[in-house]
């Protein structure tokens, strides 16, 4: 039985808490949040498990908790997350976080990464960032699919999702039902963010293959506009307004584009799928028909990574350093 502290009791934290309760390998040993409206409440009441008897506390309570690991789902802002992780590590907890930039922090935030690595090693614990994407579909899985290749020339990944089937905050994040001007303004000012983590996935693939890229670039997301009235979780979208977005990122080496990632999410997308193509000898053409749903996938990959993080040697790790990810009972 692995004792887990749920750090962050928002939408994702609650889904993770629910998944932990549904599995026989885990026990919720504590819950932490900053929201005064839920501090003091039994976390069970937030996840359809009344009477669980685990109070939501502030992070000052971390050092009083008897646990093995922390699942941290507070924010995507790495410096904030790093401070929170630091507090968990000081107490001696392994940490698994959904913070996108933590999935491969060595390129964008090498200083923060080096400090976390040093701290984790000094306390004998493991820290890892994961999720469905970044963390699995667009980095770990393409790397794994390169194992049967004698030669790899290029890696291409496409994720195509019908956003109308995702949770509302995701539909908001990709600018659903905004007019094109408004969409572009909100992308520019950061009030909608699009997908976060394409560059982290490129950095992870390059590191895993031992490739030194000349450059890695993410293009500004482009809106996808409704061609006809389209239902969404944010109302029916009139033709000409945004139903979602397309994001791409490319890694180049020796004048060639060797890593290409494409992320498309919009309401009403047909033929959802996750595609990985490896150009090489032999070439690999993989499709996951129907795609992997983002929310369930993130919860599952995160929870299923906890035992792998606990087994791993101490330090700040990425998914490629851990034993193969897999379902945990």
- Contact residues for a copy of itself, defined by CB under 8 A: 19, 22, 25, 132, 136-137, 140-141, 143-144, 146-152, 208-211, 280-290, 292-293, 296-297, 299-301, 303-305, 319-329
CB of 292 to a copy of itself, least distance (A): 5
At residue 6, φ and ψ (nearest 5 deg) are: -90, 110
- Token pair, residue 47, equals 């996840």
Residue nearer to a copy of itself on the CB measure, 145 or 225 = 145
- Report the nearest approach of a copy of itself to the CB of residue 178 (Å): 29
Distance CA 201, CA 137 (A): 9
- Residue (190 or 329) nearer to a copy of itself, CB: 329
Choice between 93 and 136, CB closer to a copy of itself: 136
* Minimum gap (Å) between residue 329 Cβ and a copy of itself: 4
Instruction: Pick the closer one to a copy of itself by CB: 140 or 247.
Output: 140
Compare residues 70 and 322 and give the one whose CB is closer to a copy of itself.
Answer: 322
Which CB, 187 or 278, lies closer to a copy of itself? Answer: 278
| Shortest distance, position 103 Cβ to a copy of itself, whole Å | 14
Phi–psi pair at 5, nearest 5 degrees: -100, 130
Encode 32-84 in three state secondary structure: ECCCCCCCCCEHHHHCCCCCCCCEEECHHHHHHCCCCEEEECCCCCHHHHHHH
User: Least distance (Å) from a copy of itself to the CB of residue 326?
Assistant: 4
Residue spans of alpha helices (H) in 57-179: 78-91, 110-123, 140-145, 168-173
In the complex with a copy of itself, the residue whose CB is nearer, 164 or 237, is: 164
Q: How far is the CB of 100 from a copy of itself (least distance, A)?
A: 16
Give the residues across from 156 on adjacent strands. 260, 277
Rg over alpha carbons for the chain, rounded to the nearest Å, is 20
- Shortest gap between Cβ of 328 and a copy of itself (angstroms)? 7
* DSSP calls for 204-271: HHHHHHT---SEEEEPPPEEEE-SS-B--BTBPBPTTSEEEEEEEEEEEETTEEEEEEEEEEETT-SS
At CA 97, angle to CA 305 and CA 211, rounded to 5?
75
């Amino acid at each position: 039985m692995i004792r887990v502290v749920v750090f962050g009791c928002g939408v994702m934290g609650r889904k993770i808490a629910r998944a932990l309760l549904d599995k026989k390998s885990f026990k919720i040993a504590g819950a932490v949040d900053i929201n005064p409206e839920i501090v003091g409440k039994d976390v069970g009441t937030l996840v359809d498990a009344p009477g669980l008897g685990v109070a939501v506390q502030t992070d000052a309570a971390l050092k009083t908790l008897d646990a093995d690991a922390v699942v941290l789902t507070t924010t995507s802002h790495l410096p904030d997350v790093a401070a929170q992780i630091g507090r968990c590590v000081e107490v001696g907890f392994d940490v698994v976080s959904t913070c996108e930039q933590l999935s491969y922090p060595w390129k964008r935030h090498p200083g923060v990464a080096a400090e976390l690595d040093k701290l984790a090693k000094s306390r004998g614990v493991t820290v890892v960032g994961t999720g469905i994407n970044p963390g699995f579909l667009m980095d770990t899985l393409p790397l794994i699919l390169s194992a049967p290749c004698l030669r790899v020339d290029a890696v291409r990944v496409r994720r195509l999702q019908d956003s109308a089937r995702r949770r509302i905050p995701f539909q908001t994040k990709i600018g659903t039902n905004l007019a094109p001007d408004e969409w572009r303004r909100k992308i520019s000012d950061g009030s909608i963010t699009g997908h976060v983590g394409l560059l982290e996935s490129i950095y992870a693939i390059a590191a895993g293959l031992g490739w030194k890229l000349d450059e890695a670039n993410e293009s500004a997301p482009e809106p996808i506009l409704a061609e006809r009235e389209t239902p969404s979780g944010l109302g029916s979208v009139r033709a000409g307004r945004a139903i979602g977005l397309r994001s791409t990122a490319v890694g180049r080496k020796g004048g060639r584009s060797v890593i290409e990632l494409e992320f498309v999410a919009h309401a009403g997308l047909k033929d959802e799928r996750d595609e990985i193509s490896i150009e090489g000898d032999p070439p690999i053409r993989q499709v996951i028909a129907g795609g992997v749903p983002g929310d369930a996938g993130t919860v599952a990959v995160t929870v299923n990574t906890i035992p792998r993080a606990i087994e791993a040697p101490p330090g700040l790790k990425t998914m490629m350093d851990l034993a193969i990810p897999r379902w945990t009972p």
